[in-house]
């Protein structure tokens, strides 16, 4: 087994975000569930865009965001995900490479366009996401390059990838290859509705393939179909080696065997919660793959999340290394 030359390899939907402010009654009138992510087709994406306020475009995607943040923290990072050969695909590829992330996946040519996520940010700083998957549905097991998986300490998978059918197979292929090469598999549950859509598949994947699980409260409760958080924590303790459970302003709980560690959130003015969980996972994994203890992993996660929610957009704008170093 070679020494790993990457710390983290993210695999996920390659998406460009379009962020706009919206009032609550805009969501109500369209029956949108605040805080969730739902999939939309091209026509609905177009009609929703026409009705939305002025937007800000920036590269997104859950695992893509995690990769960009982890790279900003000094981790060696790669990303696999499918864009199209169009302007937004160029934007995505530019941004993730400019963030220092190795991005080898070939773009899709002459078929569906690059995915976009229309994100409505309400005055309470919550985000409601409407994703048109576009080219992402073509990401398949064939795109999971064994050499990339083999050279990363941790392969990190976003739960959203359970939505495109071909990507589920890619997910399992990535986990299989990671374990063949003695690497670890991390999974983010991404979204309670996504867990709802694929609960059986998630439970199986968590139990059989996952070493490190990231989940917020509603995702964890949805996974185990319970409203008893303490019970869900004990269930996840039995399923995975490490679980990093985020609880918004209450910080996070890290569960590892007999250990249970509570980590405070870093106080900040919350402007837009888009990417909070992605950034937390990035901080955690950047510290974890550096060999730091679990308290440091949680602290790095909390610092990265606080930076990302303090401005519009899911990728860091401040110097994260300095924020870590300053504490």
- Interface with its own copies by CB under 8 A: which residues? 20-21, 49-50, 52-59, 68, 86-88, 91, 94-96, 98-99, 311-313, 315, 317
| Helical ranges in the chain per DSSP H | 24-30, 42-51, 62-72, 87-98, 146-150, 165-180, 192-197, 199-209, 217-223, 229-239, 276-289, 294-309, 320-325
Distances (CA, A) of 93 to 60, 85, 106: 11, 10, 10
Q: Which is nearer to its own copies, 113 or 164 (CB)?
A: 113
Q: Which is nearer to its own copies, 283 or 313 (CB)?
A: 313
Long-range contacts of 287-291 (CB under 8 A, 24+ apart): 287/73, 288/154, 288/212, 288/242, 289/7, 289/8, 289/75, 289/153, 289/154, 290/7, 290/74, 290/75
Through-space distance between the first and last CA atoms of the chain, rounded to whole angstroms:
36
Q: Which is nearer to its own copies, 92 or 300 (CB)?
A: 92
Residue entry with tokens 């026409």: 50
Distance between CA 69 and CA 73 in Å, rounded?
A: 6
Helix (H, G, I), strand (E, B) or coil at 305: helix
Q: Which is nearer to its own copies, 54 or 291 (CB)?
A: 54
Residue 28 DSSP class: H
Measured from the CB of residue 181, what is the shortest distance to its own copies in angstroms?
30
Measured from the CB of residue 53, what is the shortest distance to its own copies in angstroms?
5
Distance between alpha carbon 22 and the CA centroid of its chain, in Å? 23
Q: Which is nearer to its own copies, 61 or 313 (CB)?
A: 313
Measured from the CB of residue 42, what is the shortest distance to its own copies in angstroms?
13
Measured from the CB of residue 281, what is the shortest distance to its own copies in angstroms?
18
Measured from the CB of residue 54, what is the shortest distance to its own copies in angstroms?
4
Measured from the CB of residue 9, what is the shortest distance to its own copies in angstroms?
19
Q: Which is nearer to its own copies, 20 or 292 (CB)?
A: 20
Measured from the CB of residue 94, what is the shortest distance to its own copies in angstroms?
6
Distances (CA, A) of 211 to 6, 130, 178, 255, 326: 18, 30, 11, 12, 30
Please check whether residue 201 is in contact with residue 162, taking contact to mean a CB–CB distance below 8 angstroms: yes
The tokens for 22 are 């919206």
The tokens for 294 are 């679990």
Measured from the CB of residue 272, what is the shortest distance to its own copies in angstroms?
10
Q: Which is nearer to its own copies, 96 or 286 (CB)?
A: 96
Q: Which is nearer to its own copies, 72 or 324 (CB)?
A: 72
Residue 130: CB atoms within 10 A of its CB come to 22
């Amino acid at each position: 087994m070679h020494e790993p030359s990457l710390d983290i390899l993210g695999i996920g939907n390659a998406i460009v975000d379009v962020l706009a402010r919206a009032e609550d009654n805009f969501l109500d009138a369209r029956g949108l569930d605040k805080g969730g992510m739902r999939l939309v087709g091209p026509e609905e994406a177009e009609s929703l865009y026409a009705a939305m306020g002025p937007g800000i475009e920036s590269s997104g995607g859950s695992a893509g965001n995690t990769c960009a943040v982890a790279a900003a923290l000094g981790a060696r990072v790669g990303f696999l995900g499918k864009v199209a050969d169009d302007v937004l695909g160029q934007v995505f590829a530019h941004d993730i490479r400019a963030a220092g992330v190795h991005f080898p996946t070939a773009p899709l040519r002459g078929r569906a366009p690059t995915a976009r996520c229309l994100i409505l940010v309400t005055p309470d700083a919550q985000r409601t996401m409407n994703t048109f998957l576009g080219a992402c549905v073509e990401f398949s097991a064939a795109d999971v390059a064994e050499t990339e998986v083999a050279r990363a300490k941790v392969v990190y998978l976003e739960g959203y990838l359970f939505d495109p059918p071909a990507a589920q197979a890619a997910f399992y292929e990535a986990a299989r290859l990671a374990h063949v090469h003695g690497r670890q598999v991390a999974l983010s549950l991404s979204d309670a509705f996504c867990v709802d859509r694929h609960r059986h598949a998630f439970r199986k994947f968590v139990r059989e393939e996952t070493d490190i699980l990231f989940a917020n409260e509603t995702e964890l409760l949805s996974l185990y179909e319970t409203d008893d958080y303490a019970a869900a924590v004990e269930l996840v303790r039995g399923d995975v080696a490490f679980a990093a459970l985020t609880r918004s302003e209450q910080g996070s709980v890290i569960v590892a065997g007999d250990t249970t560690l509570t980590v405070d959130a870093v106080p900040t003015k919350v402007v837009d919660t888009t990417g909070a969980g992605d950034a937390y996972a990035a901080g955690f994994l950047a510290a974890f793959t550096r060999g730091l203890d679990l308290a440091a992993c949680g602290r790095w996660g909390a610092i990265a999340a606080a930076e990302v929610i303090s401005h519009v957009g899911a990728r860091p704008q401040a110097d994260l290394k300095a924020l870590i170093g300053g504490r």
